[in-house]
A = this chain, B = another copy of it.
Amino acid sequence: MQRYFALKKEKNYFILPNDDYHHILRVMRGKENEHIEVVYENCVYLCALKNVEQSLTIEIDSLLEKGVKEREMIFCIPYLKETKMDFILQKGTEMGASMFILYPATFSMVKIDDKKLPKKLERWNRILKEASEQSKRTNIPQIQTISHLRDLKNMTGVKFLCSTREKEKTIKKFLQSQSNCDKLIVVIGPEGGLSEAEEKQLNEIGFESITLGNRILRVESVPLFVLSCLNYEFME
C-alpha cells in the first residue's frame, strides 16, 4: 500500500503536503474509499480516500502501527557530485540513517554556492521523503548543513570517523567496545579522504579514527557499508 507522511492531524483526517494530493489523484488514480497508509508522529494509520471528485480528504480509519524509538545514526557527509549525493541520501534512508549533516571538506571537489543551497536542500529533502515512503519508514531523516567540522563539537554520542590512516582499530573492534550505542555520529571524508588537519581536529573533539578494513571503497559506498555494519552489529 502506498505510504505518505502527513503534515498535520485534524480530528479524524490528515493534511498532506500539496504534492501528495496530486500524486494520489493523478499518478495513483486514487478511487473513493480506497486505502492508503499515512505516517504521523512515528505512527502508521490506515486511511481512506474520501470526496475524491471534489476536495480529497484523507480520513483516518485505524492505527496500524505505533512507532518505536529507533537508534540515532547520524552521518556527516562532505559535499559531493549530485549523483553521488542523491545515491547516499536515497540508500542511506533505506538503511536507516536518521540524519545527514553536510559539510565542506578540504578535499571536496564540489563547492556549494550559498545562494543555490535552498534549492538544493529542497531537492535533497524530496529525495529523503520519497525514499522514506518507499522503504516504509515511520520517519523522514533530517538534513542539516554546517560550515565547519568544528561545529560538531557539542554533539554527544558515540563518535567516529572513517579514516584512511588508521590501520588497527576496525569499526568492529570500536563498536564492540562501546557500552551504549543509542546515538552514533559518523564522519565520512570526500574522494581524497579527510585532510590530516581535519582528522586531528575531529580527534580533538572526540571522534575516534577507525578503519573499515582493506577494501578500497568508492566514497558513495562508504555510508552504506557503515550502515550495513551498524544494522548487523545491532541485529539479534
Which A residues are closer than 8 A to B by beta carbons? 91, 94-96, 134-136, 170-173, 213, 215-218, 221, 224-225, 228-229, 231-233, 235-236
Contacts A229-B232, A235-B170, A236-B172 given; does A135 touch B94 at CB 8 Å = no
A153 to chain B, nearest CB (A): 29
Contacts of A171 in B (CB 8 A): 232, 235
Contacts of A221 in B (CB 8 A): 91, 94-95, 224
Does the CB pair A217–B170 fall under 8 Å? Answer: no
Does the CB pair B225–A213 fall under 8 Å? Answer: no
Does the CB pair B213–A231 fall under 8 Å? Answer: yes
A68 to chain B, nearest CB (A): 10
Contacts of A173 in B (CB 8 A): 236
Does the CB pair A215–B95 fall under 8 Å? Answer: yes
A220 to chain B, nearest CB (A): 9
Residue from A91, A225, A229 having most chain B Cβ neighbours under 10 A: A225
Q: Considering the chains assembled together, what is the distance between the CA atoms of A228 and B233 in angstroms?
A: 11
Contacts of A213 in B (CB 8 A): 231, 235
Chain B: CB-nearest residue to A231: B213
Q: Which of B94, B172, B235 contacts A217 (CB 8 A)?
A: B94
Contacts of A215 in B (CB 8 A): 94-96, 135, 231
Contacts of A236 in B (CB 8 A): 170, 172-173
Q: Considering the chains assembled together, what is the distance between the CA atoms of A235 and B174 in angstroms?
A: 12
Chain B: CB-nearest residue to A225: B228
Chain B: CB-nearest residue to A135: B216
Chain B: CB-nearest residue to A218: B94
Q: Considering the chains assembled together, what is the distance between the CA atoms of A213 and B217 in angstroms?
A: 24
Q: Considering the chains assembled together, what is the distance between the CA atoms of A172 and B233 in angstroms?
A: 8
A129 to chain B, nearest CB (A): 16
Q: Considering the chains assembled together, what is the distance between the CA atoms of A173 and B235 in angstroms?
A: 9
Does the CB pair B228–A135 fall under 8 Å? Answer: no
Residue from A95, A170, A173 having most chain B Cβ neighbours under 10 A: A95
Contacts A170-B235, A172-B236 given; does A217 touch B136 at CB 8 Å = no
Contacts of A216 in B (CB 8 A): 94, 134-136
Does the CB pair B95–A135 fall under 8 Å? Answer: no
